């Protein structure tokens, strides 16, 4: 038992170095994508297509805030449906502009709010104030 414990203790520095390397690499990952929030008073359907051809489809309730992005690929296109019709559509270029415009937000308190008027940068915590009860 003591030998196993000594052997395990010998591995701690190597595992610590590996963990530190992983944490550093994760910190150097590119910006995950724009933080987008459902500003509609109803659920919306969000279809995200990535540059590697994969896609994801989800339903967001009002005020849901999500980072669009994936570790394996870049977001190539986003289609948002509200009330059964396409309400918003964003190309790769649109998404790059959103990311560039939001890079100054180091607080993480802002989100791109998608609603019937379009898309605009706003504080994340203001959603409850905008959404009728």
pLDDT digits (tens, 9 = 90+) for 86-112: 999 999 898 888 777 777 666 667 888
pLDDT digits (tens, 9 = 90+) for 41-55: 999 999 999 999 999
pLDDT confidence bin for 6, thresholds 50/70/90: low
Quote the CA–CA distance of 2 and 107 in Å, as a whole number.
Answer: 48
Q: Are 98 and 65 in contact (CB under 8 A)?
A: no
Helix, strand or coil, per DSSP, at residue 32: coil
Helix, strand or coil, per DSSP, at residue 101: helix
* Global pTM exceeds 0.85: no
């Amino acid at each position: 038992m003591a030998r196993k414990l000594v052997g395990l203790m010998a591995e701690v520095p190597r595992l610590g170095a590996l963990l530190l390397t992983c944490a550093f690499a994760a910190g150097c990952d590119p910006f995950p994508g724009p933080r987008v929030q459902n500003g509609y008073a109803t659920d919306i359907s969000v279809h995200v297509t990535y540059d590697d051809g994969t896609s994801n489809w989800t339903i967001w309730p009002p005020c849901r805030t999500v980072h669009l992005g994936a570790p394996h690929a870049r977001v190539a296109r986003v289609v948002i449906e509200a009330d059964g019709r396409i309400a918003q559509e964003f190309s790769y270029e649109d998404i790059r502009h959103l990311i560039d415009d939001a890079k100054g937000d180091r607080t993480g308190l802002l989100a791109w709010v998608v609603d019937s008027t379009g898309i605009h940068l706003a504080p994340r915590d203001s959603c409850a104030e905008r959404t009728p009860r």
